[in-house]
Structure 1
Amino acid sequence: MRLPLLAALGALSLAACARNNAMPSLTPTLPGGSGDEGGSNGSPAPLVFQVKRYPGGETYDLKSDRGSVVLLDVWATWCEPCRDALPFYENLSREYAGRGLKVYALNVDEDPRAIPPFLEEVKVKLPILLDENARVAERTLKVRGMPTTYIIDRRGVVRYFHEGFAEEFLTKYQAEIESLLAEPAP
Structure 2
Amino acid sequence: MKFTLKIFALVALLVSQVAWSKEMNQPAPDFTLKSSTGENVKLSELRGNVVMINFWASWCGPCRQEMPLLDEFYKKYSKLGFVLLGVNVEEDSSKAAGYLSEVPVSFPILYDNTNSVSKMYDVDAMPSTVLVDREGNLRFLHRGYKPGDEKEYKRLMKKLMRE
TM-score range, shorter chain: 0.7 to 0.9
In 2, Cα distance between the equivalents of 1:13 and 1:128? 26
Equivalent residues of 2:53, 2:87 under 8 A apart = yes
Q: Quote how far apart the aligned CAs of 1:165 are.
A: 0.8
Equivalent residues of 2:16, 2:143 under 8 A apart = yes
Aligned to 2:61: 80
Q: Quote how far apart the aligned CAs of 1:25 are.
A: 2.3
Q: 1:1-186 to 2 correspondence within 5 Å? A: 15-26=14-25, 44-56=26-38, 58-138=39-119, 140-183=120-163
Q: Quote how far apart the aligned CAs of 1:126 are.
A: 2.3
The amino acid of 1:115's aligned partner reads A
CA RMSD of aligned residues (A): 1.8
TM-score normalised by length of structure 1: 0.77
**Equivalent residues, number:** 154
Equivalent residues of 2:92, 2:113 under 8 A apart = no
Distance 1:94 1:121, change over 3 A: same
Aligned residue for 2:27, secondary structure, equals: coil
Deviations 1:86-109 (A, max 9, x none): 111111111111111001100011
For structure 2, the residue ranges without an aligned partner over 5 or more in a row are 1-9
Equivalent residues of 1:22, 1:160 under 8 A apart = yes
Q: Quote how far apart the aligned CAs of 1:74 are.
A: 0.1
For structure 1, the residue ranges without an aligned partner over 5 or more in a row are 1-10, 27-43
Deviations 1:128-162 (A, max 9, x none): 01112111102x10001000000110011111111
In 2, Cα distance between the equivalents of 1:66 and 1:24? 19
